[in-house]
Amino acid sequence: LAKTTQPISMDSYEGQEVNITCSHNNIATNDYITWYQQFPSQGPRFIIQGYKTKVTNEVASLFIPADRKSSTLSLPRVSLSDTAVYYCLVSNQAGTALIFGKGTTLSVSS
């Protein structure tokens, strides 16, 4: 599985847009990129998944450039409740287990 690299931490204020970038230089042709959010003492929650270009849902957008060696999770107008750890993972249709990196701890202040 492709190894991912993310910033360890990020700080933001309520109402701002937050962009978290993840690099996955060794991503394979059939790999997808998935982002999860985790609050303390809870299991990770699926946020968004994509293969290329842009994917948007009700909570976030995912931008993937043509070379797919990186991806950016965009959270519009964050609130205090978005304070959490965000994990970027690469997976494929084979369904092998997800290997978690350290994730990005996002702290949102008022």
Looking at residues 58 to 87 of the shown chain, list those that interact with other proteins (rule: CB under 8 A).
87
Pick from 66, 67, 95, 110 the residue near other proteins by CB under 8 A. 95
Binding status of residue 29 toward other proteins by CB under 8 A: no
Q: What is the CA angle 8-12-14, rounded to 5?
A: 145
Between 42 and 110, whose beta carbon lies closer to other proteins?
A: 42
Q: Which helix (H) or strand (E) holds 108?
A: strand 104-109
Binding status of residue 49 toward other proteins by CB under 8 A: yes
Binding status of residue 32 toward other proteins by CB under 8 A: yes
Q: Which residue from 20, 35, 17 is spatially nearest to 79, judged by alpha carbons?
A: 17
Q: Could you give the CA distance from residue 46 to residue 35 in angstroms, rounded to a whole number?
A: 6
Site residues for other proteins per CB under 8 A: 32, 34, 36, 41-46, 49-51, 87, 91-93, 95-103
